[in-house]
Each structure stands twice: as C-alpha cells, then as structure tokens.
Amino acid sequence: MCPGIAFGSVHIIDRRRVAVPHYHLPEARREQELHRLENAITASEQQFEALQARSESAGLEQVGVLLQAHSMILRDTELRGATRRRILDEGKNAEWALKETIKHLKRLFDRLDQDYFRERRSDIDFVGDRILRNLVGAETDLLDNISEDAVVVAYDLSPADTVNLARYRARALVTEGGGPTSHTAILARAMNVPCVLNARGIMNVAGTGDEIIVDGYAGQVILQPDSSASSQYQRTKKRRQAEEQALLQDRSLPSETKDGTSVGLLGNIEVSQEIDAVVANGAVGIGLYRTEFIYLERPDLQGPMGHFDVYGAVVRGMQGLPVTIRTVDVGGDKLLRTNDGTQAALAASSPAPVESHTNPALGLRAIRLSLKHPGPFREQLEGIVRVSAVGEVRCLLPMVTAIDELREAKSAIRDIQEQLRAQGVAFDEKMPIGVMIETPGAAVIADLLAAECDFFSIGSNDLIQYALATDRGNRDVAYLYRPCHPAVLRIIRNVCESGRARGVSVTLCGEMAADPFHVPILLGLGLRKLSMTASAIPVVKRMLRRLDVSACETFVEEALNMPTAKAIEEALTERLREWAPDLFQ
C-alpha cells in the first residue's frame, strides 16, 4: 500500500461526530452550567497551548499559525458571550447552546464576500468541536497525546490529517477506508509513512496501546504480535531496506530500456519538502506538483506573490530541471472527511469555498471550481506565470473535460501575461500549457485538445475511476478498479496516438506509473515519460532497464485483444517472470 514496515503501538482516532445532548435547565442549574462551559473552554485553551508548544519545538511553524488562529477564536468574546446568554436566558444546556452559537457565527461568516472570511468557517467548526469534546468528555484531537511510537488507526483520514500525522511522525497509518490511489495513500507515500488502507474491521479489534506491526509492502497488519512474528518482520524490514539501498545504486545509470529507448522518469510532489527525495532518487524533473496541498503547508498563503514564493522555492530546489505545476484540484476525495460528514481542512482552507455533495467526484472539482472562482484562480495563475522566469515551468490544468475549459484558462493566462508584460515583469513567453487527461471525455477528444495545448499528462487514478465507474477510494468496488482493464488500455493508446500525431508530449502521472508491473504495458502503449512518487523511481528504472520496447509493443498488441483485465494481468505476469525474474517475485 505505502511501502515500509513499522513497529509501534496503536493510537485510535475516531473522527465520527460527537453526539450533542439537548435539554432544558431549570433556573437553579444555569450558573453551574456556565461553570461547565468555562471549564471546557479553559481545557481547550490549555490543549491548544500544549499543541502549539509541540508544533514549535517540532519546527512546524505553519501548524503553529493555524493553532494560533484557533486560540484566537476560542478567546472571541462573541463565541463565549452568546453561548453564555443561551444558557442563562434560554436555559439550554452548554452543548446545545454552543452548537447554536457556532451555527450562528458560521452564518455570519457566510454572508461576508471575501473568500478569506468564508474559509474561516471551518476553523470555527474545529474550535467548536474541541470545546464540545471537552464538554462531553470525548477524546479531543488526533494530534493530542501521540506517543513516539504511535501507529494511527482510524476509520478514515482526510488529506489534512494525513499530512499532519506524518509531520508529527506517526510511525504508520492504518485505515478501514480508502484504496491505493486515494489521496490518503498518495500523501502517506509522499511523506514516507508506511500505510495500510482498507483494513476492514480493524477499529473493532484494535485498542489504543496495543502492540502492532504494519507491513505497508504486503498490506498486512499484525496486532499483538508474538516474538516469532516480530523477529520475522524485523528480518523482512532489514532485507527490504537493503534492497532499497541497492536500487538507489542505479541512480546514475541511464534510464533506458535494453534496446536503448530513453524513458524520462519524473517525480510527483504534494508538498515542497519532497523535492529532496525527488532529486535523491534521480528524477529528471517534477512531472506533477499537486498544488492543492499548498494550503496545508501555508494556511496563511495570500495573493499571487504567496504562490510565487512557494513555487519559486520548488523551482530553484530542482536546479534547472523542469517543474510541472498543476493548478488546484480540490474536490473529489480531497473534499470529504468521510466518517463525520464535516469538511476536511484541505477544502476549508482552499482558495474557494467548497460545498459537499453526495457525488463530489462528478461535481464542482478542479478546473471547474477554479473557473467558477476566477479571483483565486488568477492569483494562482499569476504566481505560476511569474515563476516561469525562475526556471523551466509548465502549467497543467486538472480534470479538463471540454475544450472551453482549456480556452478559458488559456485566455486568463494570456491576460495575466499581458498585464505583467506592461509592468515589465519577466516571465517565459513560451511557458507550455497542458491538460490532464483523466476523464474519458478528454481522452476521446484528445486529438482536438492536442490542437490547442502543449502537452498531456494522463491521470490514470481518475481515468480508471471515471472509465470504469469505480470510485478510486471505495473498498467495496476495489475489485473493479483494474489498471489493466482493456478499456483503460485502449483509452491510453488513443491518447498516446493523438499526442504523437500532433507532436504533443504525453506523460503518465497517476499511480499506474509507480508500479513496475505496469511498466511493460505503458512502454508498449507508447509512453516515454512517467511521473511518480519519488520512492518508486529506482524500482521503475530497474524494471525498464530489463525490458525491450519492441517486445513490450508486441505484448500490448496481443493484450489489446484480450477480453478481461484478469487475462491481461496473467499474461503480463508470465512475461515478467521471464523478463525480470529478480524484480518480479
């Protein structure tokens, strides 16, 4: 799932909503209720202070800034005053009174037209939830009391939780929900935290403090291991680490097939800290920078220069290698925290307000959201245009389904470029603009899109989800999520052919590129650029150095006529036993 083996003790996180009791209080009990409220606020204050101290000592300034904002809301006189009034005048119990105050405050924020204030709604929710948990005696927060050896076990984690937990050095993550291409998995891999998703029933059997082993390679979790299991996993861990070190020795070898075809291996990043790993693993650039996570790194980010600063650090860090910056892709599984129904911090701190819907993957997501909120979108685009003067930068648009979206985004970019030109600001006049091909619609009109853009990046994670009508994070349909499905292969072939016919370069940047098993198919389909999480680069390179492109092409010709994913997987398994026996066990 997310490679690595971790030993530690279980830390349960239950994000489900806390039940709010509603009852009326006789007048005689109202003063006493005020004390309960004050105690809960004081406890929350102390918890925020402790968290802030921890985040500062861990060098996590951005988390500190966020917590500071939360402390300020906690001290807000309206929050406290209105809740007190509801208790004293209306006789509502503290939980109920607090809930109503929070609802009222959020409505006030909704009416403000600046996005910045609307975004603060979720901070109010967060603070309200904390006071509420202190009132009812529920566990307060996932970052509290995390021990040095914590393995976090949860129903599900939002992207924001995942990044924060990784920063707090949780040893591993285990969730009941999610799949290998969900954003929890992608982020865990990016942050180098072993992770097993889709561990059904784990929340029923694991308890905080239990000993646990997480094998992110095999997707296994061992609770209360005996000594023989522990020593077996210690041996496996050592062997795996040795293998990874050995793979890194290929770093300076050319990334080419046996018959001399060169294949560009690039890195995917979500946060800027990953560039060290991208460079260390020998990438020739960044093929996908998922900028939606920028708000986790910089919750205070404002205006085009805020974007410019963050992208500038990445572009400079890549020392002249190309960087493909994708505009914000919020929505889909980057929106919902599934178990309690509240919005994830990621969506809440994104540049535009996002509503939750029952079918978010098909809703106002990615480029659609950006075009609907031109203000924040133009700020981001200006940051990208400006940073094109610093190094080789390409601008990538997510989830395009129609030519109009590409045209509208391009016209916004041209407009910004004109303004900057008039101001004498430097930028790359020829900055390439590309589209993600991650919907069947875009794939089918790839020839038309190719006529109007500079490059394609195939997002196999979404492409598979939409082509096969299979939610990428839903474990109930995970058996249908098959990269080797003939429909997926035919779609990718079509995109590669359209790109080739128009001289438009095609990269594949979904998780399919990170799995060495799929490399022969991707080469055979015509891909010559693959972008993936940094840690996968060495093994993918070793795999392609075992392959002949001509043999891969012949295999793909046969595979394209096979009727099922299973048949293709079995045939590929057989070939790989022959072509790369050492890598294919």
Please pick, from the candidates 161, 215, 438, 471, the single residue that binds Mg ion as defined by CB under 5 A. Answer: 438
Applying CB under 6 A, the span of 83-91, 114-122, 454-462, 517-525 interacting with ligand PEP comes to 454-462
Residues 222-261 that bind ligand PEP (CB under 6 A): none
Shortest Å distance, C-beta 346 to ligand PEP: 12
Count of residues that bind ligand PEP according to CB under 6 A: 11
Q: Is 290 in the site for ligand PEP (CB under 6 A)?
A: yes
- Of residues 483 and 526, the one with the C-beta less far from ligand PEP: 483
Do residues 32 and 167 lie in contact, with contact meaning Cβ atoms separated by under 8 Å? Answer: no
Do residues 509 and 457 lie in contact, with contact meaning Cβ atoms separated by under 8 Å? Answer: yes
Do residues 498 and 506 lie in contact, with contact meaning Cβ atoms separated by under 8 Å? Answer: no
Helix (H) or strand (E) run with residue 84 in it: helix 77-90
Q: Is 312 in the site for Mg ion (CB under 5 A)?
A: no
Q: How far is CA 211 from the centre of its chain?
A: 28
Interface mask toward ligand PEP for 406-445; x: CB under 6 A: --------------------------------x-------
Q: Is 459 in the site for Mg ion (CB under 5 A)?
A: yes
Applying CB under 6 A, the span of 83-91, 194-202, 459-467, 550-558 interacting with ligand PEP comes to 459-467
- Of residues 164 and 461, the one with the C-beta less far from ligand PEP: 461
Report the distance separating Cα 97 and Cα 90, nearest Å: 9
Report the distance separating Cα 36 and Cα 263, nearest Å: 64
DSSP, collapsed to helix, strand or coil, labels residue 552 as: helix
Please pick, from the candidates 462, 471, 511, 569, the single residue that binds Mg ion as defined by CB under 5 A. Answer: 462
User: How distant, in Å, are the alpha carbons of 163, 304, 358, 400 from that of 354?
Assistant: 20, 21, 13, 18
Which amino acid is present at 504? V
Enter the DSSP assignment of 195: E
- Which of ligand PEP, Mg ion, none binds 123 (CB below 5-8 Å, type-dependent)? none
Report the distance separating Cα 123 and Cα 101, nearest Å: 14
- Of residues 390 and 509, the one with the C-beta less far from ligand PEP: 509
Helix (H) or strand (E) run with residue 505 in it: strand 505-508
Report the distance separating Cα 167 and Cα 58, nearest Å: 9
Verify whether residue 183 is a known catalytic residue.
yes
Interface mask toward ligand PEP for 318-357; x: CB under 6 A: -----------x----------------------------
- Of residues 440 and 510, the one with the C-beta less far from ligand PEP: 510
- Of residues 8 and 351, the one with the C-beta less far from ligand PEP: 351
DSSP secondary structure string for all residues of 351-412: SS-----SSGGGSS-HHHHHHH-HHHHHHHHHHHHHHTTTS-EEEEETT--SHHHHHHHHHH
Do residues 25 and 87 lie in contact, with contact meaning Cβ atoms separated by under 8 Å? Answer: yes
Applying CB under 6 A, the span of 34-42, 403-411, 455-463, 552-560 interacting with ligand PEP comes to 455-463
Shortest Å distance, C-beta 396 to Mg ion: 11
Q: Is 159 in the site for ligand PEP (CB under 6 A)?
A: no
- Which of Mg ion, ligand PEP, none binds 440 (CB below 5-8 Å, type-dependent)? none
The one catalytic residue in 195, 484, 509, 552 is 509
Verify whether residue 518 is a known catalytic residue.
no
Count of residues that bind Mg ion according to CB under 5 A: 3
Q: At what angle do helices 61-75 and 77-90 cross, to 10 degrees?
A: 40
* Cβ atoms within 10 Å, residue 213: 24
Q: Is 499 in the site for Mg ion (CB under 5 A)?
A: no
Residues 486-545 that bind ligand PEP (CB under 6 A): 509-510
Q: Is 460 in the site for ligand PEP (CB under 6 A)?
A: yes
Do residues 331 and 369 lie in contact, with contact meaning Cβ atoms separated by under 8 Å? Answer: yes
Active-site residue list: 183, 509
Residues binding Mg ion (CB under 5 A): 438, 459, 462
Residues binding ligand PEP (CB under 6 A): 186, 288, 290, 329, 438, 459-462, 509-510
